[in-house]
A and B are shown apart, each in its own frame.
Chain A
Amino acid sequence: NFMLTQPHSVSESPGKTVTISCTGSSGSIASNYVQWYQQRPGSAPTTVIYEDNQRPSGVPDRFSGSIDSSSNSASLTISGLKTEDEADYYCQSYDSSNFVVFGGGTKLTVL
């Protein structure tokens, strides 16, 4: 079964840059689009990146997404960190059978 692995938690200071990785268990992560969601406590997830590196309207350009085929990973990078960025972040993709897969989630602490 295809799986996506994320670090359990990351932390960084306000104003700095943080990168959250999402590693595919098999195949090429570059073959299927990766989405990233932000989830604040008590709220539904919202999209911050879709189709690897596209930002929905309203999402600041401090958020960016990329794919690294050499490590079979996707990454979400947040620059100029703000305390409001503190949340859980999930990557999501799909496998060859069109089954949706979520990563386990990464808790971002901005301290």
Chain B
Amino acid sequence: QVQLQESGPGLVKPSETLSLTCAVSGYSISSGYYWGWIRQPPGKGLEWIGSIYHSGSTYYNPSLKSRVTISVDTSKNQFSLKLSSVTAADTAVYYCAGGGGVTTNFDYWGQGTLVTVSS
């Protein structure tokens, strides 16, 4: 059974970089699949941040592209998100997710982690 678990600081100061990691168990990232980050501001809808294929190809939401980096670490079987120059508008629950590719659904989701941007 594939399981995903987000980890990282729950509080980030404005202008700093938000860094999260998603540990994958029950599946080897290097075998394939498509991994993504999605966020949800309190009381609002889902927003796709970006995705990465196991090959390393990345796709980023155009509205966030200048601030986002997603990478894969196959040796640790995890993938990561970095979002720079954060503001209060970046406060959200951040989910990591995995699926068969951009054309299909995200099959597996982490439980989500709340990241608050505040001084």
Question: Residues of A at under 8 Å CB distance from B?
Answer: 1, 32-33, 35, 37, 39, 44-47, 50-51, 56, 88, 90, 92, 94, 97-105
Are B48 and A104 in contact, with the CB atoms below 8 A?
no
For the complex formed, measure the closest distance between the CB of A107 and the CB atoms of chain B, giving whole angstroms: 10
Q: Is B16 an interface residue (CB 8 A)?
A: no
Are A102 and B45 in contact, with the CB atoms below 8 A?
yes
Are B103 and A94 in contact, with the CB atoms below 8 A?
yes
Q: Can you list 7 contacts pairing A with B, beta carbon distance less than 8 Å?
A: A32-B103, A35-B106, A44-B111, A45-B106, A100-B48, A100-B51, A105-B46
B residues contacting the other copy or chain, number (CB 8 A)? 21
Q: With A35-B105, A51-B104 given, is the CB distance from A102 to B111 under 8 Å?
A: no
Counting chain A CB atoms within 10 Å of each CB, the highest count among B47, B51, B103, B112 belongs to: B103
CA distance A37 to B106 in the complex (A): 9
Q: Give a binary string over B51-82; 1 marks a CB under 8 Å from any A CB, 0 the rest.
A: 10000000101100000000000000000000
Contact of A47 among B47, B48, B107, B112 (CB under 8 A): B107
Q: Which residues of chain A are near B105, meaning CB under 8 Å?
A: 35, 37, 47, 50-51, 92
Are B102 and A100 in contact, with the CB atoms below 8 A?
yes
Q: Which residues of chain B are near A105, meaning CB under 8 Å?
A: 45-46
Contact residues, B17-44 vs A (CB, 8 A): 36, 38
For the complex formed, measure the closest distance between the CB of B17 and the CB atoms of chain A, giving whole angstroms: 23
CA distance A46 to B46 in the complex (A): 13
Contact residues, B101-119 vs A (CB, 8 A): 102-107, 109-112
